[in-house]
Amino acid sequence: MISRKIVLPGDLVSTNPKTAGPGTYVEGGKVYARVLGLLDKTDLGVRIIPLKGRYIPSLGDTVIGIVKEVTANGWIVDINSPYIAFLPIPENPAMKPNRKPNDVLDIGDAIIAKVMNIDPKMKVTLTMKDKLCRPIRVGRIVAINPTRVPRVIGKKGSMIKLLKSELDIQIIVGQNGLIWLNGDRRKVSIAEEAIYIIEQEAHTEGLTDRITEFIKKRKVELGLAEPEEVGKTETEQAEVPEEFKENEEKKVEEAEESVTETENAGEKSESKAKECQLEERR
Amino acid sequence: MEEIKLIVDGKRLDGRDFEELRPIKIEAGVLKRADGSCYLEMGKNKVVAAVYGPREVHPKHLEDPSMAIVRYRYNMAPFSVEDRKRPGPDRRSIEISKVSREALEPVIMKELFPRSAIDIFVEVLQADAGSRTACLNAASVALVDAGIPMKGMVASVAVAKVDGVLVLDPMKEEDNYGEADIPFAFLIRNGKIESITLLQMDGRVTAEELRRALELAKKGAMQIYQLQREAIMRKYIKEKEVVE
Nearest neighbour of A9 by CB, restricted to B53, B56, B152: B152
* pLDDT at position B146 over 90: yes
- pLDDT for position B114: 92
Q: Which CATH number fits domain A6-50: 1.10.10.60, 2.40.37.10, 2.130.10.10, 2.40.50.100?
A: 2.40.50.100
pLDDT for A114-155, tens place per residue?
999 998 888 999 999 998 999 999 999 999 999 999 888 888
- pLDDT for position A44: 84
> Considering only alpha carbons, which residue of chain A is nearest residue B65?
A121
Q: Domains of chain B: which residue ranges?
A: 12-236
- pLDDT for position B36: 95
- pLDDT for position A201: 81
Q: How far apart are CA B43 and CA B220, in angstroms?
A: 14
Put simply, whether A5 touches B (Cβ < 8 Å) is no
Q: How far apart are CA A170 and CA A168, in angstroms?
A: 7
Residues in A closer than 8 angstroms to B115, CB to CB, are 82-83, 121-122
Check A203 against B239: CB less than 8 A apart: yes
The stretch A70-85 carries a mean pLDDT of 93
Residue B210 in contact with residue B183, Cβ under 8 Å? Answer: no
- pLDDT for position B139: 97
Residues in B closer than 8 angstroms to A35, CB to CB, are 147-150
Q: Which residue has the higher pLDDT, A107 or B2?
A: A107
Enumerate the CATH 2.40.50.140 domain ranges in chain A, comma separated: 62-136
* Residue B3's pLDDT band (cuts 50, 70, 90): low
Q: Say yes or no: ipTM exceeds 0.90.
A: no
Check A83 against B116: CB less than 8 A apart: yes
Q: Among residues of chain A, what percentage have pLDDT more than 90?
A: 45
Residue A88 in contact with residue A201, Cβ under 8 Å? Answer: no
CATH top-level class of A140-281 = alpha beta
Q: How far apart are CA B65 and CA B72, in angstroms?
A: 20
- pLDDT for position B148: 95
Residues in A closer than 8 angstroms to B37, CB to CB, are none
- pLDDT for position A26: 94
CA distances to A56, A116, A123, B19, B101 from B115, rounded to whole Å, are 12, 19, 9, 44, 18
Put simply, whether A204 touches B (Cβ < 8 Å) is yes
Check B147 against A147: CB less than 8 A apart: yes
Residues in B closer than 8 angstroms to A9, CB to CB, are 144, 149-153
Enumerate the CATH 3.30.1370.10 domain ranges in chain A, comma separated: 140-281
* pLDDT at position A280 over 70: no
Residues in A closer than 8 angstroms to B244, CB to CB, are 204
CATH topology for B12-236 is: Ribosomal Protein S5; domain 2 (3.30.230)
Question: Which A positions 144-163 lie with beta carbon below 8 A of chain B?
Answer: 147
Q: How many CB atoms lie within 10 A of CB A116?
A: 19
Put simply, whether A209 touches B (Cβ < 8 Å) is no
Phi then psi for residue B53, to 5 deg, are 125, 180
Residues in A closer than 8 angstroms to B53, CB to CB, are 54, 82
Q: Which residue has the higher pLDDT, B153 or A98?
A: B153
Residue B56 in contact with residue B116, Cβ under 8 Å? Answer: yes
- pLDDT for position B5: 82
Question: Which B positions 66-105 lie with beta carbon below 8 A of chain A?
Answer: none
Q: What is the SS3 assignment for B5? A: coil
- Beta strands B117-126 and B69-76 are parallel
Helix, strand, coil share (%) of chain A residues, nearest 5: 40, 25, 35
* pLDDT at position A207 over 60: yes
* Residue A200's pLDDT band (cuts 50, 70, 90): confident
Check A203 against B236: CB less than 8 A apart: yes
Q: How would CATH label the architecture of A62-136?
A: Beta Barrel (2.40)
Beta bridge partners of residue B36, listed in sequence order: B51
Q: How many CB atoms lie within 10 A of CB A99?
A: 12
pLDDT for B65-100, tens place per residue?
999 999 999 999 999 999 999 999 999 999 999 999
